[in-house]
Amino acid sequence: MDNGNKKRHSFGSGFRTFAAAALVICISSTSALASEGGAELEHTGNDVDNIQSLQRGARNFMNYCSGCHSAQYVRYNSVARDLELTEDQIANNLMFNADNTFETIVSSMRIEDARRWFGQQPPDMSLIARAKGTDYVYNFLKGFYIDPDSPTGVDNRVLEGTSMPHVLWQLQGYQHANFVETPVGDEGITKTEFAGFEYLTEGTMSAEDFDGFVRDTANFLEYIAEPERSTRRKVGVWVIIFLFVFLAIAIMLKKEYWKDVN
């Protein structure tokens, strides 16, 4: 009987070690994500369940981004289904570079031209919001500022030295970035910190409307990076229920087996 108690105890502590390890892994992976990239990011406040925002984002992406960026894992007909658009609406308003709605979003730019113009191929946008974070994309699109030393005439607050031009300049206008030197410790070492933007020229949109435009675009990129999100959430609930049922069965089985050992 004593022995049995010990065994039960070791099962409990093993489980506790496993739970603690799982917790540590979860915490360390989220903090790694949060600490990625130096610049402080403003929150997007986007909502991937807002279909109207996604429709506007799709329009923005196709009009302002797809000339350079592909989204090679995204099919037009899936976008139509998820964004509650008819295939005709998609074909007439969003498909500039495809004949059939089952095609994926490819960019019209040739790779050689992209290399010559930008030194590299603009990255595919299918997974960018997952790779870098939606807040990052939002801040990147809002973060272009005048830099006369850069070949494109602009630099970016969150991706220093970027080769992407300020493609939304007509909407946003041009801004100047202020930086301040703040001391680190006592040894006269300083670090450069971003201290806000100032408008140099106004764009066709107000700052508020431009934020909305960029939020919708980032929202669309978040949706395409994980189009099955809502289905997966529903499946996830069933998986967890199954795991609990299975756990109960496993505990009952364990009791049954150990009964004979004792």
List contacts with ligand HEC (CB under 6 A).
Answer: 64-65, 67-69, 118, 120, 122-123, 128, 132, 137, 140-141, 159, 162-165, 167-168, 217
CB contact at 8 A, 222 and 131: no
Amino acid at 156: N
Least distance (Å) between residue 245 CB and ligand HEC: 43
Least distance (Å) between residue 64 CB and ligand HEC: 4
Closer Cβ to ligand HEC, 42 or 88, answer by number? 42
CB contact at 8 A, 227 and 68: no
Closer Cβ to ligand HEC, 75 or 132, answer by number? 132
Spatial separation of the C-alpha atoms in residues 50 and 57, rounded to whole Å = 11
Least distance (Å) between residue 204 CB and ligand HEC: 15
Closer Cβ to ligand HEC, 90 or 154, answer by number? 154
| Residue 102 vs residues 71, 98, 165, 228: alpha-carbon distances, Å | 13, 9, 31, 17
Closer Cβ to ligand HEC, 93 or 163, answer by number? 163
Closer Cβ to ligand HEC, 98 or 165, answer by number? 165
Least distance (Å) between residue 182 CB and ligand HEC: 25
As a whole number of Å, the end-to-end CA separation of the chain is 7
The first and second tokens of residue 31, run together, are 């903090």
Spatial separation of the C-alpha atoms in residues 165 and 183, rounded to whole Å = 32
Spatial separation of the C-alpha atoms in residues 79 and 115, rounded to whole Å = 29
CB contact at 8 A, 196 and 178: yes
Least distance (Å) between residue 174 CB and ligand HEC: 16
